[in-house]
């Protein structure tokens, strides 16, 4: 009898984990639906939206810009090294541009913003939760999802494509710098090559990815912040969960979107 | 009027409220006393719909709190939270005027600011604090700002959650007097939570003692000192020996 129960124990653990995952997914789905509903119905808090556009967009520029610059440079070196194995060094400009716009711009931009913004949102909202500020909002007839989550989600969804576009440009510029100073490309030829092979859809698809990743970042920050446990420990955990889950969801969503956009 | 019937609430295996029945008629000042962790704040949060009760009913002017009545109730409601719960991203006047610049009856910012400054003066704070952030204020000043925010829109019902906890006795006395004056002047219905007996005597019309998830004693403040209940007696005198279990 005891032996039989011991055999069942791993199954019970598995079952509990599955149930927890399903319940979590359900809660998150409901949360997203609530955000969408509140985003579409008045009142809209435009002042908060403006502040978040500044916080999330403007203040993320240095991080995203630096990431793109170094990545573009490294990419040029790698493609040159790889290309030289079959005498195709001339592909450097076009592959740097395509790689940045389709993949690295949005993914690295999304991940950097996940680290910066999802953490900041979760910590801020989590602290508001444990200090009863969220309850205070409700007693002041203000819906916390409408007042806190909607402006953040809108701001992140709108600004991440812009950040990605800036990152794309800086990344291509990083490749150009390395290409012309270290790899012996002629500046005019490098730029011609970039422009000739880059298609509009390469850029647009990356911007769409950026919007999706911005949405993910802000939703995970708000979701975990509002679900924060009590005390400083609760807020710390919420912050970690927000960053980890946003990063993983970004990578997963990136694969899915790439599959949808580019499968031959 | 606020009517609570057989209210129950547990967190996991821990039964916090085990059948609370209470009535607070219009214009009355009820003070709820009880030890730390007995569920006083949870009781208020159930009334406000911030915590979902497991059983029982709560009605406000005859309407269930979970229904449509809640928004209308909250529109005429104010609360001073235990920790102040001031919004730290906003300045002091923006905190006080929070309700005034939002919602259907919103006012122009200049007018809202003027009302906020007036309410700050009412709680003894000068106009110079209006543009500070809450983090720049002392605990006593934060409590006063919380009080000013609670009364900013002239509510009909006000809850005070431990208004004097963490304050020195003089500041506590000041806050007690303020609450009593404001309540008298506004004619509001109030529930105050405290374990500070000086607050009870300053603020209460009626007193209810919460113990072990139930209302142990409920009556007019004048009868409190002559009441026989041993739990209430121990709480009033603060004796370490008595029926209330203490951990040491
Ligand atoms: N959100 C919550 N989750 C779990 N336990 C809670 C929660 N809120 C309150 N409690 C528990 O309920 C009990 C009563 O809390 P509270 O009402 O804050 O006490 P107090 O009477 O000091 O205001 C405490 O033991 C507390 O740990
Ligand atoms: Mg409490």
pLDDT tens string B57-106: 998 888 887 777 788 889 989 999 988 999 999 999 999 999 999 877 88
Query: Where do we find the tokens 């009545």?
Result: B69
CA A221 to chain centroid, in Å, comes to 11
Q: Can you give the pTM of this predicted structure?
A: 0.90
Distance B161 CA to ligand 2 centre (A): 7
Give the CA diameter of chain A: 80
The low-confidence residues of chain A, meaning pLDDT below 50, are: 1
Position A1 scores a pLDDT of 47
Question: Which residue among B8, B14, B15, B16 has the greatest number of ligand 1 atoms within 8 angstroms of its CB, and so is best to mutate?
Answer: B16
Torsion of CA A58, A59, A64, A65, to 10 degrees: 70
Q: Please judge whether A139 and B86 are an interchain contact, meaning their C-beta atoms are less than 8 angstroms apart.
A: no
- Across the interface, which of B74, B88, B102 has its CB nearest the CB of A139? B74
Distance A245 CA to ligand 1 centre (A): 29
Calpha distance B161→B182 (Å, rounded): 16
The low-confidence residues of chain B, meaning pLDDT below 50, are: none
Q: Please judge whether B82 and A132 are an interchain contact, meaning their C-beta atoms are less than 8 angstroms apart.
A: yes
A residues 122..161 contacting B (CB < 8 A): 124, 128, 131-133, 135-136, 138-142
Which residue intervals of chain B bear CATH 3.40.50.300? Answer: 1-76+155-248
Calpha distance A154→A152 (Å, rounded): 6
Cα of B37 to nearest chain A Cα, Å:
14
Pairing of strands B206-211, B77-80: unpaired
Neighbour-count burial of B231, counting CB atoms closer than 10 A to its CB (0-12 exposed, 13-18 middle, 19+ buried): middle
Question: Which residue among B8, B9, B11 has the greatest number of ligand 1 atoms within 8 angstroms of its CB, and so is best to mutate?
Answer: B11
List CB contacts of B231: < 8 A, sequence separation 6 or more.
B209, B211, B216, B217, B242, B243, B244
Kindly provide the ipTM of the predicted complex, given to two decimals: 0.91
Position B247 scores a pLDDT of 58
CATH number of B1-76+155-248: 3.40.50.300
Q: Structural domain boundaries of chain A?
A: 1-41, 45-262
pLDDT tens, position by position, A166-191: 999 999 999 999 999 999 999 999 99
Distance A45 CA to ligand 2 centre (A): 31
List CB contacts of A31: < 8 A, sequence separation 6 or more.
A145, A219, A222, A223, A226
- Across the interface, which of A131, A136, A141 has its CB nearest the CB of B75? A141
Position A4 scores a pLDDT of 63
């Amino acid at each position: 009898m005891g032996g039989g129960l011991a055999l069942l124990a791993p199954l019970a653990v598995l079952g509990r984990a599955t149930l927890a995952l399903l319940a979590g997914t359900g809660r998150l789905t409901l949360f997203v639906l609530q955000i969408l509903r509140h985003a579409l119905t008045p009142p809209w808090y435009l002042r908060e939206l403006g502040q978040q556009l500044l916080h999330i967009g403007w203040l993320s520029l240095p991080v995203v810009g630096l990431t793109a610059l170094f990545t573009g440079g490294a990419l040029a070196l790698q493609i040159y090294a790889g290309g030289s194995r079959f005498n195709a060094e001339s592909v450097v400009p076009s592959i740097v541009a395509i790689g940045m716009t389709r993949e690295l711009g949005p993914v690295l931009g999304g991940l950097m913003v996940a680290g910066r913004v999802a953490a900041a949102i979760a910590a801020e909202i989590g602290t508001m939760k444990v200090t009863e500020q969220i309850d205070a909002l409700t007693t002041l007839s203000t819906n916390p999802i409408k007042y806190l989550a909607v402006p953040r989600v809108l701001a992140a969804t709108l600004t991440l494509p812009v950040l990605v576009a800036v990152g794309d440009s800086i990344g291509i510029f990083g490749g150009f710098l390395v290409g012309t100073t270290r790899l012996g490309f002629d500046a005019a030829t490098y730029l011609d090559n970039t422009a000739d092979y880059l298609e509009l859809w390469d850029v647009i698809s990356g911007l769409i990815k950026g919007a999706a990743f911005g949405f993910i970042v802000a939703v995970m920050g708000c979701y975990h912040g509002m679900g924060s446990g009590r005390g400083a420990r609760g807020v710390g955990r919420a912050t970690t969960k927000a960053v980890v889950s946003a990063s993983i969801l970004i990578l997963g969503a990136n694969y899915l979107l790439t599959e949808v956009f580019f499968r031959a | 009027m606020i009517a609570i019937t057989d209210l129950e609430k547990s967190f996991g295996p821990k039964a916090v409220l085990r059948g609370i029945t209470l009535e607070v008629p219009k214009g009355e000042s009820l003070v709820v006393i009880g030890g730390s962790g007995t569920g006083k704040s949870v009781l208020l949060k159930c009334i406000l719909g911030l915590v979902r009760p497991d059983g029982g009913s709560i009605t406000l002017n005859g309407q269930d709190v979970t229904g449509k009545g809640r928004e209308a109730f909250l529109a005429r409601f104010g609360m001073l939270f235990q920790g102040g719960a001031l919004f730290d991203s906003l300045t002091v006047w923006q905190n006080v005027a929070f309700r005034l610049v939002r919602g259907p009856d919103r006012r122009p910012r200049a007018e809202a600011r003027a009302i906020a400054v007036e309410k700050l003066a009412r709680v003894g704070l000068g106009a110079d604090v209006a543009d500070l952030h809450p983090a720049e204020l002392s605990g006593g000043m934060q409590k006063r700002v919380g009080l000013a925010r609670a009364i900013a829109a002239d509510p009909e019902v006000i809850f005070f959650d431990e208004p004097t906890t963490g304050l020195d006795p003089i500041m506590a006395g000041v806050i007690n007097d303020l609450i009593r004056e404001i309540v008298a002047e506004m004619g509001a219905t109030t529930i105050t939570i405290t374990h500070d007996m000086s607050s009870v005597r300053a603020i209460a019309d009626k007193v209810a003692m919460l113990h072990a998830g139930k209302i142990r004693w409920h009556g007019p403040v004048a009868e409190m000192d002559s009441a026989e209940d041993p739990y209430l007696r121990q709480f009033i005198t603060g004796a370490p020996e008595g029926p209330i279990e203490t951990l040491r």
